[in-house]
């Protein structure tokens, strides 16, 4: 099936709440959209994708060989409305010659803002403070009460200085941080824009007052923040994660927070998501957990939906996607 033959290409959209601006760009296609607020389950996904030309998916959909085969050999494109693609088996896509589109850049500013918010919320104990106001624990002004750690004069370490890490670094410089360190697979030439120094992971862990995970989740970064790495951090260190829950061994993080191995943590991502309300992490005062809202601005979500649609349309037209995963 192709567009010139008259029949419209069929696109399956796996989620009910995709911003209209994105769906509008698919108007030349036959769009079938999942019609429930509930996240589509695997069996339903497999049933619905049969015979489609393109798949418009989100990060909760697991895209692997089985699913691609369920689509059929006419499948021409997968577009995920996310910058992360740990839910997609890229090898399976490559083997079948299916281009995969993603949404870098358009969510960078929103996610960097949220990361900074999490850093401040954690270091300056915003949730605890606001809770104390409501509970009546707020007494007369007390020089020793609710003190946290300022960003000013601190050393910040970013593990994974990619698009988002760099955008976080740019926002932190004006706070007067004294040192910016980063580590990861390779040096980023753009690091000089923020005067960031490339160091070993161990150096980053031992010297940083704030450790920020800005990396993608893959086989190299899975649970890279674990018992061993939390031990290498300062007892005053604050750990912030706005990438993927999977980069953290969450039990080890709980232990590190509970025992005072590290000072506090701010997480926008967890394992699993949603985090069960009985998770021990939620009993800790020194842990702020947000519900994966890094890219949750109206502007970013609209742009993500539009870019996903543009990726899909390009592939259906036999063109290079504007943002294709290499």
Q: Which position among 87, 152, 153, 292 bears the catalytic label?
A: 292
Q: Which is nearer to ligand DGY, 107 or 316 (CB)?
A: 107
Nearest distance, CB of residue 294 and ligand DGY, angstroms = 6
The number of residues that bind ligand DGY (CB under 6 A) is 7
Q: Does 108 bind ligand DGY (CB under 6 A)?
A: no
Measured distance CA(30)–CA(23) in Å, rounded: 11
Q: Which is nearer to ligand DGY, 181 or 304 (CB)?
A: 304
Nearest distance, CB of residue 17 and ligand DGY, angstroms = 13
Q: Does 48 bind ligand DGY (CB under 6 A)?
A: no
Q: Which is nearer to ligand DGY, 250 or 295 (CB)?
A: 295
Neighbours of 257 (CB within 10 A): 21
Residues 70-99 as x/- pattern, contact with ligand DGY by CB under 6 A: ------------xxx---------------
Nearest distance, CB of residue 82 and ligand DGY, angstroms = 3
Measured distance CA(188)–CA(179) in Å, rounded: 17
Dihedral through CA 48, CA 85, CA 287, CA 191, nearest 10? Answer: -160
Nearest distance, CB of residue 251 and ligand DGY, angstroms = 22
Q: How many angstroms separate the first and last alpha carbons of the chain?
A: 26
Q: Does 59 bind ligand DGY (CB under 6 A)?
A: yes
3-state secondary structure of 127: helix
Q: Does 14 bind ligand DGY (CB under 6 A)?
A: no
Q: Which is nearer to ligand DGY, 83 or 215 (CB)?
A: 83
Q: Which is nearer to ligand DGY, 241 or 295 (CB)?
A: 295
Q: Does 295 bind ligand DGY (CB under 6 A)?
A: yes
Q: Does 246 bind ligand DGY (CB under 6 A)?
A: no
Strand segments (E) across the chain = 10-13, 30-33, 54-57, 77-80, 100-101, 155-159, 179-183, 197-198, 210-213, 238-241, 264-267, 287-289
Q: Does 107 bind ligand DGY (CB under 6 A)?
A: yes
Output the DSSP codes for 148-212: ---STT-EEEEES-SHHHHHHHHHHGGGT-SEEEEESSS--GGGGGGTPEE--HHHHHHH-SEEE
Q: 262: number of CA atoms within 13 Å, CB side?
A: 32
Residue that has been written with the tokens 């940083």 in this structure: 208
Measured distance CA(49)–CA(71) in Å, rounded: 5
Specify whether 292 is catalytic: yes
By CB under 6 A, name the binding residues for ligand DGY: 59, 82-84, 107, 294-295
Residue numbers annotated as active site: 292
């Amino acid at each position: 099936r192709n567009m010139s033959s008259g029949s419209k290409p069929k696109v399956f959209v796996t989620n009910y709440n995709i911003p209209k601006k994105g769906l509008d760009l698919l108007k030349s296609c036959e769009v079938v959209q999942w019609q429930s607020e509930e996240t589509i389950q695997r069996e339903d996904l497999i049933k619905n994708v049969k015979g489609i030309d393109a798949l418009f998916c989100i990060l909760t959909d697991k895209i692997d060989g089985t699913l691609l085969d369920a689509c059929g050999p006419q499948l021409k494109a997968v577009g995920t409305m996310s910058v992360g693609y740990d839910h997609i088996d890229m090898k399976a896509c490559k083997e079948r010659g299916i281009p995969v589109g993603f949404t870098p850049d358009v969510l960078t500013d929103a996610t960097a803002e949220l990361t900074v918010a999490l850093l401040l919320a954690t270091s300056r104990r915003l949730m605890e403070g606001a809770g104390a106001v409501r509970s009546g624990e707020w007494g007369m002004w007390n020089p020793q009460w609710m003190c946290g750690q300022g960003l000013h004069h601190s050393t910040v370490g970013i593990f994974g200085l990619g698009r988002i890490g760099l955008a976080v670094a740019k926002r932190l410089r004006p706070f007067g941080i004294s040192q910016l360190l980063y580590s990861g697979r390779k040096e980023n030439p753009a690091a000089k824009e923020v005067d960031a120094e490339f160091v070993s992971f161990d150096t980053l862990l031992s010297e940083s007052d704030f450790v920020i995970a800005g990396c993608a989740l893959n086989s190299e970064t899975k649970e890279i923040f674990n018992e061993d790495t939390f031990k290498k951090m300062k007892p005053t260190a604050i750990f912030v994660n706005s990438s993927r829950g999977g980069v953290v061994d969450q039990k080890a993080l709980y232990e590190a927070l509970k025992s005072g191995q590290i000072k506090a943590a701010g997480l926008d991502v967890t394992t699993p998501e949603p985090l069960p309300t009985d998770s021990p992490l939620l009993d800790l005062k020194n842990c702020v957990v947000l519900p994966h809202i890094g890219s949750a601005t109206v502007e970013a979500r609209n742009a993500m939906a539009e870019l996903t649609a543009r990726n899909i349309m390009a592939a259906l037209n036999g063109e290079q996607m504007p943002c294709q995963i290499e």
